[in-house]
């Protein structure tokens, strides 16, 4: 009798678990992965001396992931993600700080950004007249 009761309880729990409403991946169409809770935002940023990505060897490179939270090798990931969020990921919308005075020395610096921002492909390349001008743009995004 004791084994019968244990068997009945086991069958009842199994039936409850199997008959429970399906959720998450179980509801996804066959062959399709379930959608993520957030759109991916992961970027690779490089900087080097020169004016064209085809001719510049990157001197520094960092990764920046902003979703689900700021991370990566970028030294100021949290503030860089915040700055990018303000401009909706549009790197062209990052403005120059008026508080910075830069010398008029031509020593071109190229920054590139490639990756995904909120699920959309990003490819950005811009040459600045010198490192000071680069640092004056994009606040913490280009500070690496």
pLDDT of residue 98: 87
pLDDT for 82-111, tens place per residue? 999 999 999 999 989 888 899 999 999 999
Residue 122 in contact with residue 41, Cβ under 8 Å?
no
Residue 5 reports pLDDT greater than 80: no
Pair of tokens at residue 133: 């001008």
Dihedral angle of Cα 127, 128, 134, 138, to the nearest 10 degrees: -60
What does the alpha-carbon distance between residue 128 and residue 112 come to, in Å, rounded to a whole number? Answer: 11
Mean of pLDDT values over 115-128: 94
Strands (E) located in 29-129? 42-49, 60-65, 109-117, 120-128
Mean pLDDT score of the chain: 80
Percentage above 70 pLDDT, the chain: 74
pTM: 0.71
The CATH number of the structural domain formed by 42-136 is 3.30.350.10
127 strand-pairing partners = 110
Hey, is 15 helix, strand or coil?
helix
pLDDT of residue 35: 53
Dihedral angle of Cα 112, 115, 120, 125, to the nearest 10 degrees: 10
């Amino acid at each position: 009798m004791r084994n019968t009761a244990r068997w009945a309880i086991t069958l009842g729990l199994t039936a409850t678990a199997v008959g429970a409403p399906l959720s998450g991946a179980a509801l996804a169409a066959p062959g399709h992965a379930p959608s993520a809770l957030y759109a991916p935002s992961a970027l690779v940023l490089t900087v080097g001396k020169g004016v064209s990505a085809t001719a510049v060897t990157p001197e520094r490179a960092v990764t920046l992931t902003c979703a689900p939270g700021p991370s990566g090798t970028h030294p100021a990931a949290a503030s860089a993600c915040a700055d990018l969020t303000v401009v909706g990921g549009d790197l062209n919308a990052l403005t120059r700080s008026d508080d910075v005075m830069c010398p008029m020395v031509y020593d071109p610096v190229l920054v590139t950004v490639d990756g995904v921002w909120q699920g959309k492909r990003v490819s950005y390349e811009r040459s600045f007249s010198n490192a000071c001008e680069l640092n004056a743009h994009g606040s913490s995004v280009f500070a690496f």
